[in-house]
Each structure stands twice: as structure tokens, then as C-alpha cells.
Structure 1
């Protein structure tokens, strides 16, 4: 089954996904390491939806969910991190056709592929893009934002690696494998 990147189902998934992303941003666990840096459960959900619907859905959910979440929670939007949420969502979704989780496939090879992509994507996003944009847009001190980006990146890599992988695996198990139904 060929999936459209912008089908009606994808548009609905973006709307619902962004709303759930916003709600999950309220469930954040402070790190105690760096100010304004928390363990975010929203990226676990973003990994699942982007893996099902692709990079455009992942990017839009990250952008919309993070920007509205910031506006509601803090009264302003921290655009550098919003951009990274969109980038990370697109990265998670970039391999959705290879993963085939909607066909009930998420085996060892798929798990390794997903985690390599999510680690590389998040490392680029949080270790490089977010701090550089923090400096360029907001004039933040380099040592502060690179530390924040590193801590956020490691936490997100670990939580998505464990719980995102588990959530995707559980979702894949609910899907009917191609050719598994037989006519009697």
C-alpha cells in the first residue's frame, strides 16, 4: 500500500497528533541538571505518529505541537527548539516506508534502523541546530545552550530509544501482517 504524504488521513493525524503532543508537553520531568530542560514524553508519541504517517506529518506535528505548547505553557514561543521539534519529527518519519509498521512489521532490523535514524536526527537537532539557533536568534551564551542541547538530546535519545521503540513495537503487533489471513 503506497501512502500519501498529505492524504486526508495524514491531515487528520497531524491535527490529532499536534493536540496530543501539546498535552504530553505538560507531562515533563525536570532534569535537575540544567534549567528549562526536562524529560519530554511528547517525543515518544511523535516517534510513533511520524513512523506511521511520514516526515511531513512528523514535521508538522513537531512544529505545531511545540509552538502552541510553548505559547500556552509559557506565553511565548522558543522558536529555536520549535524548529528542532519539526526537524526531529521529519527525521523520525523519514524512514516510515522502510519500517512498514502499519503492515505489522517491526523486527530487529527495523528496530536498529529506527534507532540509528532517531539517534542521528536528535543528535544533529539538539546538539547542533538548537544551540546555534539559540545563539543566533536570542543571543544566548554558548556554554549554556550547548549544555542544554546536550542534556535534552541525551534524554530524548534515551526515552525515544526505549519507550518510543516499545510503543512502535506494540503498535506494529496490533496490525495485520500482509498475507497472514487465509481463506478457508
Structure 2
């Protein structure tokens, strides 16, 4: 049994974190709500979480979001970084139910993926992020719950559309598990 993370997973965490930073900085769309954007980085985080598992998802969300905040904003907003890690971790936990490595990502897997990501993100953005904003930063509850709901809805839609497309495309690169036949 393999102990620790594989070299492949460690490399994926490094590259995934860097891509998260780039997407978070250059491929996000402002919503009009202060400090809240439509983030394509979460579709990529979902892909990496499904392909490489929950620990990779957690670390890509944590490192990628923290680096993005530190580099582009000068300080880290830990409540949202924690939720990014939470989202990566828990989407990764559902990877076994999807089994993307089998090369199959059809209606059943798409449904499982989208229910899982929507529930995980709703918990993270609608509840955890605003609660941590209030607890850590003493932010006004009405402000941060609006931000959380807007971020959550936009991330659920973004992952639902772009994340599903990425996973369908990735599955097509895998050999179908039932493609072997006895001659």
C-alpha cells in the first residue's frame, strides 16, 4: 500500500494551485457585488478534485486561493480560502462515486457530480464563508450572507457548466472500462 501522496499528485497540486491563481485573477467576471466574482477557477478545482482526489482538491483550493489573495490583493481572506479548501476536499470525496478513470461520464455520473458539487458549494458559500467572515473579521452579517449566496450560486452554475464540460472531455481521454473484449 502506498503511503503519502504520489509524485503525480504532488505535481498536480503544484500545477493546479498555479492554474487556480491564474484563473482566479484573469478569468473571473465581477458580479457587481463588492469582492464577489464569477470564478472559473472552481470548475478547474472540481476537475482536479475528481481526477486526483480529496487531498489534492483540498490543497489546490487552499494554496491556490491563498496565493491568489496574497499576490493580487496583498492579504489573505482566510474565511473564503477555507471554503475553497472545503469545496475541493468534499468534491474529491465524491470522485469514487463517479470513477472518472473508467472513461465513463454519462448522465448518471453527471447527475451525481452536479448534485454533490451543488450541495458542497451551498454549504460552503451560503453558510461557512459568511459565518467565518462574521467570526474572524467581524463583518456585517447581512453583507457577507449576500456575498456568500451570490458567490455560491455563480460557482454552482460555473462548475455545473464548465466543470461538467471539463469532466466529459477528460473522460473521453480515458479507456472505457468495458472496452476490453475476449477474442
Aligned to 2:64: 65
Aligned to 1:150: 149
Question: What SS does structure 2 have at the residue aligned with 1:76?
Answer: coil
For residue 4 of structure 1, report the CA deviation from its aligned partner: 7.7
Distance 1:140 1:95 in 2: 33
CA, structure 1 residues 58+3, in 2 after alignment: closer, same or farther (shift >3 Å)?
farther
Matched, 1:18 2:17: yes
Aligned to 2:168: 169
Aligned to 2:80: 81
Listed as ranges, the matches of 1:60-139 within 5 Å are 60-139=59-138
Distance 2:15 2:153 in 1: 27
CA, structure 1 residues 152+3, in 2 after alignment: closer, same or farther (shift >3 Å)?
farther
Q: List runs of 5+ in structure 2 lacking aligned partners.
A: none
CA, structure 1 residues 5+157, in 2 after alignment: closer, same or farther (shift >3 Å)?
farther
For residue 182 of structure 1, report the CA deviation from its aligned partner: 5.1
Aligned to 2:37: 38
For residue 6 of structure 1, report the CA deviation from its aligned partner: 2.0
Q: Deviations over 1:103-161 (max 9, x none)?
A: 20111111111111101000000000000000000000000000000000000001101
For residue 19 of structure 1, report the CA deviation from its aligned partner: 0.8
After TM superposition, the score normalised by the length of structure 1 is: 0.94
Q: List runs of 5+ in structure 1 lacking aligned partners.
A: none
Asked if the contact 1:28–1:38 (Cα under 8 Å) also holds between the matched residues in 2, the reply is yes
Question: What SS does structure 2 have at the residue aligned with 1:97?
Answer: helix
Asked if the contact 1:50–1:90 (Cα under 8 Å) also holds between the matched residues in 2, the reply is yes
